[in-house]
A and B are shown apart, each in its own frame.
Chain A
Amino acid sequence: MKLQFGKGSFKNVAVALLAIVFGLLAGAVLITLTGSDPLAGYAYLFKGGLMSLERFGDTLATSTPLILSGLSVAFAFKTGLFNIGAAGQMLMGGFCATAVGLTLDLPSVMILPLAIMASIVGGAVWAFIPGILKARFNVHEVVSTIMMNWIGYWVVYYAVPGYFKGEFLETESRAIPDAASLKVGWLSQLFNGSFINLGLFLAIAAVVLIAFILNKTVIGYELKAVGYNRFAAEYAGINVNRNIVLSMMIAGALAGLGGATLYIGNASNIQIGVLPAQGFDGIAVALLGANSPWGSLLAALFFGLLYSGKGFMNAMIQIPPEIADTIIATIIYFAATSVLIERLLKRLRSRKRGQ
């Protein structure tokens, strides 16, 4: 139960670090097999994400939606729910924020809070439906959230050209006005013109808030109790169904906020015909972060670094940029098979004791 500073925490960190090491090793093997130098490749990969203040800012910005989608998946996991619909919730949240930004003509201090609220509501509503279906009818959330992903995909596909058509392209919305963007002048200047934006602070605030809710409040305790054993929780007088709906809605709200950081933060318009990949990467983030808020933050920063540096690596040494995705997927596979890593750790420990 104790995730901070306990023995479990050490184990989680060890598993995560070993999974990363294995993932990087697998990536190195692949790079070698395709005839490039893995060490040079990795050097460029990390340089691409860190070598200047601007690139560092871009890395942080790339991580921002991942922090929130990872937090969304991790939070639902705590209540025993698998939120595979973070992508759809992000899309709807981002769409609502964009819609507010394109419709209302208000100064920044008013429009930004409204757009952010809209994204939170949009995501929460999109997750409310799978939540209520799970609570009332026991419909498995994996299938219902996948359906919601596609419903959101098509709603945006028709709504954007219908109401917010772009100037040149049918497949994207108009650009939002500067007042409705999370990008602010002083922050971009601080990082020498990077696309880093206020979304990062929203994401960190969300991490703090969720960590507080989970560890220090009655709601958090109830949500976790439902996740550990819903029957025991019910027997103890916890309203399981209400907690399932609530957990899904909070998860959706987090993903929706992530959508805002993506579409009115990192980007300034919304494209149709794509579900944001960051939604699915949220699963990876949550898993590597052992479903803890702070773990998700660190995992998202690491994945953001890989994503941010892959273009530079590709330009310098001709390793296909998909190596970053491959490494992340391999890390997730190793994290999923953590039993293997735990056995390895145990063997190492017993050998040490034997000497």
Chain B
Amino acid sequence: MWTVLTQIFPYAVAFTIPLLITALGGLFSERSGVVNIGLEGLMVVGSFGGALAIFKLQPAFPNGAVWIGIMVAMLSGAVFALLHAFASINLSANQVISGTAINMLAGALTVFLARNITGSGNIRIASGLTRMDIPVLSSLPVVGKLFFTQTYPSTWLVLAILGLSWYVLYQTAFGLRLRACGEHPHAADSAGVNVFRVRYLAVILSGAFAGLGGVIILITYSGEFTGSVSGLGFLALASLIFGQWKPLGILGATFFFGFASTIANVSQVMPALASIPGVLLKVFPYVLTLIALIIFSKTTQAPRAAGEPFEHGKR
């Protein structure tokens, strides 16, 4: 059992991390009061921007290209998120529909551009990030084997962002204002908070994070831009709700999805699980999410004003 666990753990983590960072992006957006169903599309845009940058730069800078790709991915996600911000903040559009438009536009536009650039709709990168052992810590008993061997640098980056996000949301004035905008924008407004600006920042941040999530998929386990992130953005959205709009809750929810999906993927080769029908293992995370949503329904911590456009005169 222990060997199996140490074998599948890196895969579970690799699957968790892009979900985690994307859900964190969603957290900022929704806590500020803007529902962002476009996370899926923003991940695709990040994956495209990153793949393109890495593809073009890799011959010249074999080492630095990946990191430049990460930055380009975050930037492209942030810029694309402006479309959602403009529609939902300035124009009071239905945020779910605007997000859906973002998803459709991202999937179509990136493949269109990729086809013009590479001929096929895909962009393959020569190499991504390499796994590494953390010195000293990796030789610790138990934890060393699980957490500090064969890790991607991006994993530590995302965990650092998670800690920072918690700090910003709960320990800074900006975080308090951001949460206030999502709970009661008019109260925040009368206290002198610029609701528009806070929400813009939050949506841009969610785009950057989702873009990062998309590029992490590319540079860790997929290695190729294909115009889709196979529903991971929607899964991140579900994790956000499963995790009840809290950073640590999101960490738990995304890790649950990462672990459950990995188990479903490797069940064939694990004697303990081979007897369970594959379909049950595959649908397990989704069914459990539905059950969790029922359980949380009475005590839901959803931001009160999420999804509601803010208008000055309306009280």
Residues of A within 8 A of B (CB): 30, 34, 82, 84, 129, 133, 137-140, 142-144, 146-151, 154-155, 157-159, 280, 283-284, 287, 320, 322-323, 325-326, 328-330, 332-333, 335-340
B: number of interface residues (CB 8 Å): 43
Smallest CB separation, B216 vs chain A (Å): 21
Residue of A nearest to B83 (CB): A333
Smallest CB separation, A270 vs chain B (Å): 16
**Chain B 75-107 near chain A by CB (<8 Å), digits 1 or 0:** 000000001001100011110111011111101
Partner of B104 from the list A148, A280, A337 (CB cut-off 8 Å) is A280
List, in ascending order, chain A residues with CB within 8 A of B101's CB: 329, 332-333, 336
Smallest CB separation, B60 vs chain A (Å): 25
Partner of B100 from the list A140, A154, A283, A330 (CB cut-off 8 Å) is A283
List, in ascending order, chain A residues with CB within 8 A of B91's CB: 337, 339-340
Partner of A147 from the list B102, B238, B278 (CB cut-off 8 Å) is B238
Docked-complex contact B279 and A284, CB < 8 angstroms = no
Partner of A138 from the list B96, B289, B297 (CB cut-off 8 Å) is B297
Partner of B293 from the list A133, A320, A330 (CB cut-off 8 Å) is A133
Docked-complex contact B282 and A158, CB < 8 angstroms = yes
Smallest CB separation, A131 vs chain B (Å): 13
List, in ascending order, chain B residues with CB within 8 A of A325's CB: 104, 107-108, 111-112
Residues of B within 8 A of A (CB): 37, 83, 86-87, 91-94, 96-98, 100-105, 107-109, 111-112, 115-116, 121, 231, 234, 237-238, 241, 277-279, 282-283, 286-287, 289-290, 293-294, 297, 300
Docked-complex contact A320 and B116, CB < 8 angstroms = yes
List, in ascending order, chain B residues with CB within 8 A of A337's CB: 86-87, 91, 93, 98
Q: Mostly helix, strand, loop or mixed at chain B's interface?
A: helix
The residue in A143, A149, A287 that gathers the most chain B C-beta atoms within 10 A of its C-beta is A143
If A333-B105, A336-B97, A337-B87 touch, does A139 touch B277 (CB 8 Å cutoff)?
no
List, in ascending order, chain B residues with CB within 8 A of A154's CB: 279, 282-283, 286
Complex Cα distance, B122 from A337, in Å, reads 31
Complex Cα distance, B91 from A280, in Å, reads 24
If A82-B96, A339-B93 touch, does A326 touch B112 (CB 8 Å cutoff)?
yes
Residue of A nearest to B109 (CB): A326
Docked-complex contact A326 and B105, CB < 8 angstroms = yes
Docked-complex contact B234 and A329, CB < 8 angstroms = no
Complex Cα distance, B224 from A271, in Å, reads 24
